[in-house]
C-alpha cells in the first residue's frame, strides 16, 4: 500500500500534540510514504513556530532523516494546474489543494493520511481512502 502523508500528520512525529501516537503508528505502518515538495516548507515552518530554539534543531535533523525514506512528488505545472482546479471546485485552501493534487497524480489507490478535517472531507470526495480523521 502507499500512503500520502500531509504536513498535519507528519508534524505529529516531531511535536507532542493530540493524536501524535496514532499518527506515528499510522506512519510506521506503511513502508511506502509519499508527500508533496511543499510539505518540507510546511513542516520546517511549523517546527520553527511551535518548538523552542533548543528543540527545533533536533526535530529538523529528525525530519531531514525521515525525508530520505519519503518519496517526494514535485509541484510541476501539471500538479499546480490540478491543484487550482481542485481549489476552484471544492474551495479547499491552497496548500491543501497542492497536497490533494500531488496525491491525485498517483491515482486514488492510496491512503491519504491527514489530521485536517476539512482536507479529509475533500480527499474523500475525490475518492481517496482517508486515515487520521
Where on the phi/psi map is residue 98: left (φ > 0), alpha (ψ -120 to 50), or beta?
Answer: alpha
Which three three-digit cell numbers place residue 3? 500512503
Task: Give CA–CA dist 14/8, Å, rounded.
Answer: 11
Per residue, what are the HEC states of 101-121? HHHHCCCCCCEEEECCHHHHH
pLDDT in tens, 13-55: 999 999 999 999 999 999 999 999 999 999 999 999 999 999 9
Range of the domain at 56: 3-132
51, with CB counted inside 10 A (0-12, 13-18, 19+), is middle
Average pLDDT (87-96) is 97
**Residue 62 predicted with pLDDT over 90:** yes
pLDDT in tens, 2-22: 999 999 999 999 999 999 999
> How would residue 1 be classed by pLDDT, with cut points 50, 70 and 90?
confident
Task: Give CA–CA dist 22/17, Å, rounded.
Answer: 11
Task: Give CA–CA dist 38/90, Å, rounded.
Answer: 20
- Number of domains composing the chain: 1
Percent of the chain with pLDDT over 90: 98
Q: What is the CATH number of the domain that holds 105?
A: 3.40.50.1010
> How would residue 90 be classed by pLDDT, with cut points 50, 70 and 90?
very high
3-class secondary structure, 3: strand
Amino acid at each position: 500500500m502507499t500512503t500520502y502523508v500531509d504536513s498535519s500528520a507528519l508534524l505529529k512525529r516531531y511535536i507532542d500534540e493530540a493524536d501524535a501516537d496514532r499518527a506515528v503508528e499510522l506512519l510506521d505502518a506503511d513502508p511506502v510514504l509519499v508527500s508533496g515538495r511543499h510539505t518540507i516548507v510546511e513542516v520546517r515552518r511549523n517546527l520553527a513556530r511551535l518548538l523552542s530554539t533548543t528543540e527545533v534543531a533536533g526535530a529538523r535533523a529528525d525530519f531531514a532523516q525521515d525525508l530520505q525514506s519519503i518519496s517526494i512528488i514535485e509541484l510541476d505545472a501539471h500538479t499546480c494546474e490540478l491543484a487550482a482546479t481542485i481549489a476552484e471546485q471544492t474551495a479547499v485552501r491552497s496548500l491543501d489543494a497542492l497536497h490533494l493534487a500531488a496525491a491525485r497524480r498517483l491515482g486514488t489507490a492510496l491512503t491519504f493520511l491527514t489530521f485536517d478535517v476539512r482536507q479529509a472531507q475533500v480527499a474523500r470526495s475525490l475518492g481517496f481512502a482517508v486515515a487520521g480523521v
